Amino acid sequence: MQTVNVSAHAKIILIGEHAVVYRQPAISLPLKTIRTYATLKPTTTGQIIHSELFNGDLQQVNDRLNGIKQLITTLLTRLATIDTPFDLTITSDIPVERGMGSSAATALAITKAFYAAFQQHLDEQTLLATAAISEKIVHGNPSGLDTATDNSQFPIYFIKNQCLRPLALNINGYLIVADTGIQGQTKKAVSAVQQLMHQQPQATNQLITKLGQLTNDAVATLANNELAQLGAIMNQAQVILKQLTVSSPALDHLVATAQQAGALGSKLTGGGRGGCMISLTDTKQHANTIAQQLAQNGAKQTWIVPLKND
């Protein structure tokens, strides 16, 4: 084993969360400057993890790191032996459980670190499939959107098990991402939608299908620089996400704040019930004003993301 330093970036879902679980399309964007870092070193004894959520031996990890434990066990069995000593440090700029892809970025960084440390070639398909080992434990039945976006250099258009293609953005606008500071509850939110699907199949299906249509409408606005239309689509998506019970008072409050501050559209992003929301505006200056208003009205952290591909 050799010492390696690797990283993976964050993501946000522009539109299509929850519907994507039911094979509707979603659009997501990489946030390349917000990252998780993994440093893996050889050591003589122990299988040691240093991280924000846990410090200690792999065998003693708390429940929240069960996915990581399973992932590392698989990687060691595949690349070396299950008892190989190692020293792994994870640090991250991505807030945990806020819909910004923190768990997927951690899984990707760990997978890349072990392959690099054992000097093994890692193709993209293997990377995504391996990172999915821990994502399945963390999220239950993930669509794969998080892992795919955290590993993509470009925005992507995604349909579960069907389509993953880069999306060229020809739109001059800015997104403001704001964190409620409350941990999202992706797993619970996904099962709440599943329950709705059992209880009211027709109505729920209609909402999910409508979200899919909105995603496809959004593709056209992104290609044609139709900022106001994109904003309106985001607002419609937020209404549906609320009907699916995955928003929260804190998210609704930030959405209302951004709208009052002049945003063109605002919605939650990711699993919901906490986590982050996003807002659309036309200029950097307006983005700063909206971000300030959001911070003054309870957002714990904000980021401004230009929409044009760099």
Residues that bind ligand PMV (CB under 6 A): 17-18, 20-21, 99, 101, 139, 142-143, 145-146, 184, 186, 190, 270-271
Q: Judged by CB, which is closer to ligand PMV: 48, or 53?
A: 53
- Distance of closest approach, residue 139 Cβ to ligand PMV, in angstroms: 6
Q: Which is nearer to ligand PMV, 155 or 184 (CB)?
A: 184
Q: Which is nearer to ligand PMV, 76 or 156 (CB)?
A: 156
Residues 135 and 113: their CA atoms lie apart, in Å, by 17
- Shortest distance, position 224 Cβ to ligand PMV, whole Å: 26
Residues 6 or more apart whose Cβ sits within 8 Å of residue 265 = 230, 231, 232, 233, 234, 235, 279, 280
Residue among 94 and 117 whose Cβ is closer to ligand PMV? 94
Tell me how far, at minimum, the Cβ of 101 lies from ligand PMV, in Å.
Answer: 6
Buried b (16+ CB within 10 A) or exposed e, 258-292: bbebebbbbbbbbbbbbbbbbbbbbeeebbebbbe
The distance of closest approach from Cβ of residue 158 to ligand PMV in the complex, given in angstroms and rounded to an integer, is 9
Q: Between 193 and 287, whose beta carbon lies closer to ligand PMV?
A: 193
Q: Which residues pair with residue 50 across a beta bridge?
A: 55, 89
- Nearer to ligand PMV among residue 143 and residue 248 (C-beta): 143
d(CA 133, CA 263): 38
Nearer to ligand PMV, 139 or 286 (CB): 139
User: Tokens at residue 155, please?
Assistant: 């925005």
Using CA atoms, how far apart are residues 150 and 29, in angstroms rounded to an integer?
9
Comparison of 41 and 188: residue with beta carbon closer to ligand PMV: 188
Report the candidate in 216, 215, 213, 197 with the shortest Cα–Cα distance to residue 205.
Answer: 197
Residue 138 CB, nearest distance to ligand PMV (Å)? 8
Backbone φ and ψ of 74, nearest 5°: -65, -45
* Whole-angstrom distance, CA of residue 152 vs CA of residue 15: 17
- For residue 190, the minimal CB distance to ligand PMV (Å) is 5
Are the C-beta atoms of 267 and 255 separated by less than 8 Å? yes
Shortest distance (Å) from residue 79 CB to ligand PMV = 27
Report how far apart, in Å, the C-alpha atoms of 212 and of each of 19, 157, 206 are: 6, 11, 10
Find the shortest distance in angstroms from Cβ 117 to ligand PMV: 27
Half-sphere exposure of 289 (CA within 13 A, CB side): 12
CA triplet 115, 119, 122: central angle to 5 degrees? Answer: 45
